[in-house]
Amino acid sequence: MLDTSPAARAAAWLAAFAAALESRDSGRILESFAEDCYWRDLVAFTWNVKTMEGRPAIAAMLDETLARTAPSGFVPGEAKDTEDGIEAWFSFTTASGTGSGIVRLEGGRCRSILTTLQSLTGFEEPLGHSRPTGVRHGADRNRRTWTEERAAEAAELGTTRQPYCLVIGGGQGGIMIAARLRQLGVPTIVVEKNRRAGDSWRKRYRSLVLHDPVWYDHLPYLPFPANWPVFTPKDKMGDWLEAYVKVMELTYWTETEAVRAAYDAAAGRWTVELVREGRPIRLQPAHLIFATGAYGPPRWIALDGAERFGGEILHSSQYSDGARFSGKRVAVIGGASSAHDVSVDLWEAGAEVTMIQRSPTTVVRSETLMEMAFDIYSEAAVESGLDVDRADLLAAATPFALQPKYQKALYDRIRVRDAEFYRRLAASGFLLDFGDDETGLMMKAYRTGSGYYVDVGGSELIISGEIKLKAGVAIDTLTPSGIRFADGSEIAVDAIIQSTGFQSMHEVVAQLVSRDLAHEIGPCWGLGSGMRNDPAPWHGELRNMYKPTAHPALWFHGGNLALSRFFSKFLALQLKARFEGLDTPVYRTPL
Amino acid sequence: MLDTSPAARAAAWLAAFAAALESRDSGRILESFAEDCYWRDLVAFTWNVKTMEGRPAIAAMLDETLARTAPSGFVPGEAKDTEDGIEAWFSFTTASGTGSGIVRLEGGRCRSILTTLQSLTGFEEPLGHSRPTGVRHGADRNRRTWTEERAAEAAELGTTRQPYCLVIGGGQGGIMIAARLRQLGVPTIVVEKNRRAGDSWRKRYRSLVLHDPVWYDHLPYLPFPANWPVFTPKDKMGDWLEAYVKVMELTYWTETEAVRAAYDAAAGRWTVELVREGRPIRLQPAHLIFATGAYGPPRWIALDGAERFGGEILHSSQYSDGARFSGKRVAVIGGASSAHDVSVDLWEAGAEVTMIQRSPTTVVRSETLMEMAFDIYSEAAVESGLDVDRADLLAAATPFALQPKYQKALYDRIRVRDAEFYRRLAASGFLLDFGDDETGLMMKAYRTGSGYYVDVGGSELIISGEIKLKAGVAIDTLTPSGIRFADGSEIAVDAIIQSTGFQSMHEVVAQLVSRDLAHEIGPCWGLGSGMRNDPAPWHGELRNMYKPTAHPALWFHGGNLALSRFFSKFLALQLKARFEGLDTPVYRTPL
């Protein structure tokens, strides 16, 4: 009897695919692909983070990479029916290491495939069975204890021994890439300008909690315990990061700022001037990783008349405690996450708040998001045996090009579910949108990293008028006592808080290396969708993130906890391969 | 067809057992028990930690507890064939909460059964699905942030609000019971005399590493990560405990010593005088938990002539760094774990070491133990899906009375496997034993907590003569320059380190409360086996540990990491039930 289970059909497809790969004939390989097909590769074939869209792009990639990648040993994993066909896991090996993948079949042919490098042969992480012993048994008069080895490492690294990687920025992104690199034995220093690890969270405004739930936020290796709150309060997050740095034994320099960096292409070394606890120090790492995240330079907007305004003007990054604004009139410029959070915080502190919303915002209720968008990152997922690493691969298996369709469908459902909420919010005058193409919050996050709010209470204050709103009217000028708008109206305020976001990470490159280099590299983040603030051409992945850039040995790492967790693995593998002198030919076509 | 799988047979037994329990007729219940049978109960039926041995003891327990316990809802879990019959898991409920159990059947009848209380109905731990949200969504002008709530709690607890439990000793045992109590919402303060959590590990000798492997050592809620070393170095353990205290949000007072404690039976309160950071403070907890562990008073032995000995005499607890003994002649009195570790540490530091072994020691090679005795606590066990909580229940399912048989069989195999090692060690003059009844290390640990060594290198130094040995000869007197033995021989030494262990925890009670009370309560630990240092009568459980003692509201907690982890759950449930005012009738027969 013919076995028509999803597992059997997936296994049959995989066997044919493996045989075709063996032939090294891209034409034959593509026979098992749908017309409209996608191949997303994370380091396994391309030594890049790259999605090939359509048959010609896939054929071109295979023609260049297949012989040297030498994929083999395909083993089918779980498979299941989906709305569109079959989703199936598989593992494989390459000339460099082991890989995992997910293929989605429609009508028996591959609609999309994800291939990922999981480990480098000969350089596997010491985990589980291969974890360190922690002691050399037997007596040894030259024994160095763990404490002595850690102390020696701390004393040597950055002084008598240069790090291979220098990570600029010790927030969540910097910490995670450093943890991965340490596990792989790549000598790495993280520099952080604050006094303690975790301060980048602690220093934010008083009421901040993570807007994403705990199941989405785990760091690598050391998941949050089962009693961890769903939404982590900022100081608790700070303490966790600080403990993590210690537990993971990172070389982490606090109160250290990078001042200048220059690359010597001949030597293959950076020279980085830093100030560590007030003293200048020079490091010469082979690789420089920018992980300054959202904590790069704040984005200020120019306000006409600012010089004669009698009150105070702050950026949201400078705002931490609303208490001193109690009884004051405060304008918050902006309409996205931090504008809402700062407004709520001010309102709670007893300030009279006006939100000045300049452009539309995508709003979605936290509760709704939890219920409808975090199914693979939830307690139910954990109970069904889907751990966070597998959930991450599932999420990564949908190429960016295919996400708008699913996201639009999701937001269509959300807008029906919360129709009354959106009606009331719009009635308050708040400018709502769901993105230029109605695809909602996540696509905005990928495209621009801005313009959205997960509602945890701010919207009701706007609806009820507790937080006043001035929406869609340009600011004409500041007056000595307030703000005058283009429609001639005026409001009197004692303070203005610009919740206008942060500049792209590549601005940090401009400041540290040179404006020319920043220009050459181009902006970070965004997909090239051609939507507002995400200029074309289409790139198909997040620009410049987690992968080789236009400049040798210069990398960017960051994003929310989930993206930092997932991609830190692939960035670390790329760096480890270079550290070990492996051949890492990067496949770099525009698409 | 008759289903004869272990699951089916176990389910049939469980159904009959459940029906018999329903009848409340102990005679009928015992029909499904073997002649030689054991019932170990952890809090579920007895509100005690207790093993009933034999039919009459079980019948007596059931007659007293069955009606009020009202066990029901038995659901069979996994079952498997074993050498002796069937081992099967089950769950059940009682009038107070939910339970888990394991039954071992021989010839279709129960040879031994374990019943454990797992949670109290209405007072379940907020974990997983019921974890805290971490933020109250919605705006709230009276909002207290996590940081503010923690600060308020720290300010109130012990000053304006009395703790329900006071834990004396903030080592691993105190930390684990406090973590469990916090999860259950029982206001608790831990007091620790050291400056930092973890110092009780940090202050030990330089080369100390845990002798038990990582899989056996997890703390509750937050398991060690997959990259954690097999054998944890002492300072790394200290750092982990310190991080754990913070992550678990314990109220943990460092630099605090309890000076005196008295119980007011009428008020149901202790009055405890403490010195916190140099200042006196008085607490009035309802319950006092002694968790001073091995860090209670050191056990010193009287040495004749000590007053004229020109060198230094230390206890091993005072020994931390061998460097200052380099080139010196040092005698280490003792033959067990710390005597070996201190001797090796001294040898590594370049001292000339003589171990003075007064009585035989059970030695087993670490490697051998890992391979033969830690099967349920291993990477292989983890991979097979056996987590540490289930492994603990499996280990607990064998009543103490039945353990010698299995332990003797294990050591019979170990002695064959390592025959050559033992031959060489004995040939060096070292006094080897495997316990009075040849049952090896674990039984010695339970009976006396002393007299054994897991060999991680010390034995080879003794065999090779690098560490000199004086075994089985009593010390006659100290001389100005060394030690004279009963056989007339003398050795010259510059220092003597007493590695003679620690006193029972109840000695701390004598010092803190009164000698009379300590006497009334009797010693902690030991089973009453009648073997050396474990006087009869047989008790069947560890004396006074984790359960009601002869004095109301006075408890002991401790043991290695594994025992502290496992029993902290049951001690915490006993305390939580009292905190909530539930009825907790303790079944207290001698056996």
* Minimal CA separation from A472 to chain B, in Å: 25
Alpha-carbon distance of A351 to B436, in angstroms, equals 77
* Minimal CA separation from B459 to chain A, in Å: 9
Nearest by CB to B235, which of A138, A147, A350? A147
Q: Which residue has the higher pLDDT, B184 or A531?
A: B184
Nearest by CB to B233, which of A128, A147, A382? A147
Q: Which residue has the higher pLDDT, A211 or B167?
A: B167
- Whether A461 has its CB under 8 Å from any CB of chain B: the answer is yes
- Whether B28 has its CB under 8 Å from any CB of chain A: the answer is no
Contact B232 A134 (CB under 8 A): yes
Over 70: is that where the pLDDT of B136 sits? no
Give the mean model confidence (pLDDT) for residues A13-26. Answer: 96
pLDDT given for residue B319 in this prediction: 92
pLDDT digits (tens, 9 = 90+) for B258-282: 999 999 999 999 999 999 999 999 9
Q: What dihedral angle (degrees, nearest 10) is formed by the CA atoms of A419, A421, A422, A428? A: 140
Q: How far is CA B26 from the centre of its chain?
A: 33
Over 80: is that where the pLDDT of B590 sits? no
- Whether B124 has its CB under 8 Å from any CB of chain A: the answer is no
Q: Choosing among A119, A145, A148, A353, which should be mutated to test the B contact, i.e. which has the most B CBs within 10 A?
A: A145
- Whether B127 has its CB under 8 Å from any CB of chain A: the answer is yes
* Minimal CA separation from B353 to chain A, in Å: 13
Give the mean model confidence (pLDDT) for residues A433-445. Answer: 95
* Residue carrying the six token digits 């990293």: A449
**ipTM for the complex shown:** 0.92
Q: What percent of chain B has pLDDT over 90?
A: 89
- Report chain B residues whose CB lies below 8 A from the CB of A230: 131-134
Q: What percent of chain A has pLDDT over 90?
A: 89
Give the mean model confidence (pLDDT) for residues B521-541. Answer: 92
Handedness of CA B531, B532, B536, B542 (dihedral sign): negative
pTM: 0.94
pLDDT given for residue A295 in this prediction: 54
Over 70: is that where the pLDDT of A466 sits? yes
Nearest by CB to B128, which of A129, A141, A226? A226
- Residues 187-206, chain B: which have Cβ within 8 Å of A? 206
Alpha-carbon distance of A48 to A53, in angstroms, equals 15
Over 70: is that where the pLDDT of A65 sits? yes
Residues 6+ apart with CB under 8 A from A179: A219, A220, A221, A244, A248, A250, A568
Bridge partners of residue B88, in order along the sequence: B79, B103
Give the mean model confidence (pLDDT) for residues A347-375. Answer: 95
Q: Of B45, B175, B33, B157, which Cα lies nearest the Cα of B101? A: B45
**How many A×B Cβ pairs under 8 Å?**
163
- Whether A282 has its CB under 8 Å from any CB of chain B: the answer is no
- Report chain A residues whose CB lies below 8 A from the CB of B246: 239, 243
Contact B379 A128 (CB under 8 A): yes
- Report chain A residues whose CB lies below 8 A from the CB of B464: none
Contact A137 B461 (CB under 8 A): no
pLDDT digits (tens, 9 = 90+) for B100-126: 999 999 999 999 999 999 999 999 999
Contact A460 B146 (CB under 8 A): no
Q: Which residues of B225-244 are buried (b: 16+ CB within 10 A; e: fewer)?
A: bbbbbbbbbbbbbbbbbbbb
Alpha-carbon distance of A373 to A173, in angstroms, equals 23
pLDDT digits (tens, 9 = 90+) for A103-123: 999 999 999 999 999 999 999
Give the mean model confidence (pLDDT) for residues A560-570. Answer: 97
* Residue carrying the six token digits 């300590």: B518
pLDDT digits (tens, 9 = 90+) for B163-195: 999 999 999 999 999 999 999 999 999 999 999
* Minimal CA separation from A43 to chain B, in Å: 24
pLDDT given for residue B132 in this prediction: 87
Average pLDDT, chain B: 95
- Whether A327 has its CB under 8 Å from any CB of chain B: the answer is no
Confidence of residue A260 (pLDDT cuts 50, 70, 90): very high
DSSP three-state, residue A245: helix
pLDDT given for residue A504 in this prediction: 81
Angle at B279 between CA B273 and CA B284, to 5 degrees: 30
Q: Which amino acid is at B354?
A: T
CB B203 within 8 A of CB B320: yes
Contact A347 B135 (CB under 8 A): no
Alpha-carbon distance of A132 to B229, in angstroms, equals 5
- Whether A124 has its CB under 8 Å from any CB of chain B: the answer is no
* Tokens (6 digits) for A75: 């083993």
CB B172 within 8 A of CB B291: no
- Report chain B residues whose CB lies below 8 A from the CB of A460: 138-139
Contact B207 A145 (CB under 8 A): yes
pLDDT given for residue A468 in this prediction: 98
Contact A348 B239 (CB under 8 A): no
* Minimal CA separation from A261 to chain B, in Å: 34
DSSP string spanning A48-63?
SEEEEESHHHHHHHHH
Confidence of residue B364 (pLDDT cuts 50, 70, 90): very high
Nearest by CB to A129, which of B134, B366, B379? B379
Q: For strands A165-168 and A188-191, give the pairing.
A: parallel
- Whether B147 has its CB under 8 Å from any CB of chain A: the answer is yes
pLDDT digits (tens, 9 = 90+) for A159-174: 999 999 999 999 999 9
pLDDT given for residue B121 in this prediction: 98
Give the mean model confidence (pLDDT) for residues A249-275. Answer: 97
Over 80: is that where the pLDDT of B3 sits? no
User: Counting every residue, how long is chain A?
Assistant: 591
Contact A348 B143 (CB under 8 A): yes
Burial of B123 (0-12, 13-18, 19+ CB in 10 A): middle
- Span of A436-445, B1-10, B392-401, B546-555 with lowest mean pLDDT: B1-10
Nearest by CB to A247, which of B128, B143, B243? B243
Confidence of residue A296 (pLDDT cuts 50, 70, 90): low
Contact A239 B222 (CB under 8 A): no
Handedness of CA B67, B70, B74, B79 (dihedral sign): negative
pLDDT digits (tens, 9 = 90+) for B308-360: 999 999 999 899 888 999 999 999 999 999 999 999 999 999 999 999 999 99
pLDDT given for residue A591 in this prediction: 58
- Report chain A residues whose CB lies below 8 A from the CB of B138: 456-457, 460
pLDDT given for residue B532 in this prediction: 86
Q: What percent of chain A has pLDDT over 70?
A: 99
Residues 6+ apart with CB under 8 A from A242: A196, A197, A198
- Whether A232 has its CB under 8 Å from any CB of chain B: the answer is yes
Alpha-carbon distance of A461 to A343, in angstroms, equals 9
Confidence of residue A293 (pLDDT cuts 50, 70, 90): confident
Over 70: is that where the pLDDT of B591 sits? no
Contact A146 B236 (CB under 8 A): yes
